[in-house]
Amino acid sequence: MKIKVGLIGFGRMGRFYLKEMQKSGRWDVAYICDINPDCRELAKQLSPESKILENEQEMFDDESVQVVGLFALADSRLDRIEKAIKYGKHIISEKPVSDTIDKEWKVVDITEKASCFSTVNLYLRNAWYHQTIKQFIDQGEIGELAILRICHMTPGLAPGEGHEYEGPAFHDCGMHYVDIARWYAGCEYKTWHAQGVNMWSYKDPWWVQCHGTFQNGVFDITQGFVYGQLSKDQTHNSYVDIIGTKGIARMTHDFKTAVVDLRGVTQTHHIEKPFGGKNIDVLCDLFADSIETGIRNPKLPLIRDSAIASEYAWTFLHDARTHDLPAIGELKTLEQIWERRRNMKNGYGLLRKP
C-alpha cells in the first residue's frame, strides 16, 4: 500500500519532492498546500490526482495522511512541526528546520520526544560519492583521517535572490558543507577562524573560507556564489579532498558526473557516475523504508544534525564578521548580475519564473 503524504510549499523544492515521489511509486501525494495561487495552479497541472489547498488544516485533519513534507519558508517550519506532532504525522523537512537557532533547538527538543519519525534534507549525506568515500575511509585505506578540504564555488544565487529566510550563502548553502565535514570527522568542531569578503560591496559576505580543527584533525571549508557571475561562459569549482596518514580520497563534479579517486594502501579506484542532484529519491526511499518497517533507518539525517550544522554555519559567519571584512567591487556590478540572471536560460541557480 502506498504511503499517504501531504506537501506544504510547492516552490522549487516542493516540486522536486513531488517528482521523485511520483517516480518511486511508493507514495500517494494526497494533498499539496501553498498560499500562492500560481503554485496551486501548477500543482493541479503536475499532480491532478492530489487535492490542492490554500489552507493545510484539512490535510492535518485527515487521519489517513501519514507524512507531511515541509518545503515552505524556514520561518514557517516550527509551527508546522509542532502541528504535525500534535496530529501524529511523520515529518520530512527542508533545512534549516526553523529561521533562528533558538527555534531550531526547540524543534530538536520536540521531535526527539515525539514517537513519530522525522528527518531533514541534508542531501550530501545521501550522495553516492560521499557514501563511497566514507566506506573507503572506514576500511582503513587512508589510515587516520587528518585533513578535510571542501570547496563549493559557483555563480549560483546572487544576494537578494532567495536567502532572506536562510541567511547569507554560507548559511543557506554552506551549512551542507559544514554538516558533511562533521559527518566525515565523526566528532565536533573544536577551533575555527573564518575570513569573508563583501563582494560587490553587498552588506553580507558572499564568500567565506573557514579553517580550524576537529577533535581529531583539521578542516577548511570554502563556499561562495561569487565564481564568475558575469563571465561569458560560466563555470564552477567544487571538490572534496580528504587526506589521511596513509592515503587520500577525493571527489570533483560538474553537476552531471561525479568523479571519485581513491588511493589507499591496498586499493586504487577511479569511479565516474552520474552526479545525482539533490538525492531526494534516496531520502524518500529511506523514509518510506522506515515507515513500512516501523524502524527508523539509521542513514536518515537527524533534526539534531541540521541544528548543529546551522549553528556552526552561523558561528563561522559571525567569526568572519569579527575580522577584517573587505568590501570589494561596486553595487552597480551586482545590479548587472541581477539583470543578467533575470534573463538567463542556462546557467547556475536559475531563478524560478513567476
Q: Distance between CA 124 and CA 130 in Å, rounded?
A: 7
Predicted confidence at residue 166, as pLDDT, reads 83
Predicted confidence at residue 346, as pLDDT, reads 85
Predicted confidence at residue 163, as pLDDT, reads 66
Residue-by-residue pLDDT tens, the chain, 354 positions: 999 999 999 998 999 999 999 999 999 999 999 999 999 999 999 999 999 999 999 999 999 999 999 999 999 999 999 999 999 999 999 999 999 999 999 999 999 999 999 999 999 999 999 999 999 999 999 999 999 999 999 998 999 887 667 889 999 999 999 999 999 999 999 999 999 999 999 999 999 999 999 988 999 999 999 999 999 999 999 999 999 999 999 999 999 999 999 999 999 999 999 999 999 999 999 999 999 999 999 999 999 999 999 999 999 999 999 999 999 999 999 999 999 999 888 888 888 765
Q: Distance between CA 95 and CA 84 in Å, rounded?
A: 17
Predicted confidence at residue 233, as pLDDT, reads 94
Q: Distance between CA 81 and CA 118 in Å, rounded?
A: 9
Query: How many whole angstroms from its chain centre is CA 226?
Result: 19
Q: Is the pTM of this model over 0.75?
A: yes
Name which of 276, 316, 313, 295 is nearest 125 in CA terms: 276
Q: Distance between CA 259 and CA 257 in Å, rounded?
A: 7
Predicted confidence at residue 347, as pLDDT, reads 84
Predicted confidence at residue 164, as pLDDT, reads 65
